[in-house]
């Protein structure tokens, strides 16, 4: 595993933060988000710890292969469809992708394919399930209509998951990130895509 001292790190401070510390990968570098009031001495101690913990999570994720197989993701989607949509939403394929730059998920109606951003892979299961549910409903209702949101609301953690994703996007300064829009043609994955997320709180 790469040592924290070898990582390229960018520290960003925010006056809006009070106790939350976060770290995530952005291409070659690791971005660490800190409250503005943190002193330089504390920063020198906290940043390497956050970076090392993020690197540890990346290694554990890669070695376990957790949530990396599309068949498992497809099975999960089918289960959500059966439970909350009467089995009506039937995607042809469900997979992880690394080339999304402004959405957590996307659905292409003509070929009934669903794609989820790799950024979701280290988030709680109930958040991933919400994004899957959102995309499944797009197979039944293309736009964000009243009927669309009524169907999405069958998933009991919808509002909590949306709030979680909004918080992640704001903390990571992912400008413009949203639940999704009907999919546009995929672009080629970036040569060095970002991945990973770690968050903690001050005592």
Tell me, what's the pLDDT at 4? 54
Tell me, what's the pLDDT at 99? 75
Low-confidence ranges of the chain (pLDDT < 70): 1-6, 25-28, 58-69, 173-203
Q: Residue holding tokens 């003509």?
A: 110
Tell me, what's the pLDDT at 62? 53
Tell me, what's the pLDDT at 177? 64
Tell me, what's the pLDDT at 84? 96
Cβ atoms of residues 2 and 55 within 8 Å: yes
What Rg value do the Cα atoms of the chain yield, rounded?
18
Tell me, what's the pLDDT at 155? 97
Other CB atoms within a 10 A radius of the CB of residue 181 amount to: 14
Task: Tell me the domains of the chain and their CATH numbers.
Answer: 4-65+197-201 (no CATH), 70-171 (3.30.2010.10)
Tell me, what's the pLDDT at 183? 39
Please state the pTM of the whole predicted model: 0.57
CA angle centred on 125, ends 115 and 17, rounded to 5°: 100
Name, in order, each residue with C-beta under 8 angstroms of 25's C-beta and a sequence gap of 6 or more.
31, 54, 58, 194, 195, 196
10/29 Cα distance (integer angstroms): 7
Tell me, what's the pLDDT at 54? 80
Helix orientation angle between 125-138 and 158-171, rounded to the nearest 10 degrees: 110
Tell me, what's the pLDDT at 59? 67
Tell me, what's the pLDDT at 194? 37
Tell me, what's the pLDDT at 175? 58
List, in sequence order, every residue forming a beta bridge with 95; answer none if it has no partner: 115
């Amino acid at each position: 595993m790469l040592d924290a001292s070898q990582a390229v790190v960018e520290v960003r401070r925010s006056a809006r933060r009070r106790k939350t510390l976060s770290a995530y990968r952005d291409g070659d570098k690791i971005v660490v988000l800190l409250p503005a009031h943190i002193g330089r001495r504390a920063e020198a101690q906290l940043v390497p710890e956050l970076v090392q913990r993020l690197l540890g999570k990346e290694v554990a994720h890669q070695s376990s292969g957790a949530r990396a197989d599309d068949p498992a993701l497809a099975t999960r989607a089918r289960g959500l469809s059966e439970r909350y949509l009467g089995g009506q939403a039937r995607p042809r394929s469900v997979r992880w992708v690394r080339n999304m730059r402004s959405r957590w998920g996307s659905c292409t109606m003509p070929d009934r394919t669903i794609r989820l951003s790799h950024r979701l892979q280290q988030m709680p299961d109930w958040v991933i399930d919400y994004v899957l549910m959102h995309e499944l409903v797009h197979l039944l209702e293309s736009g964000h209509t009243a009927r669309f949101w009524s169907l999405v609301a069958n998933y009991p953690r919808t509002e909590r998951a949306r709030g979680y994703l909004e918080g992640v996007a704001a903390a990571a300064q992912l400008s413009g990130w949203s639940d999704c829009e009907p999919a546009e043609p995929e672009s080629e994955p970036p040569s060095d895509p970002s991945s990973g997320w770690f968050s903690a709180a001050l005592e």
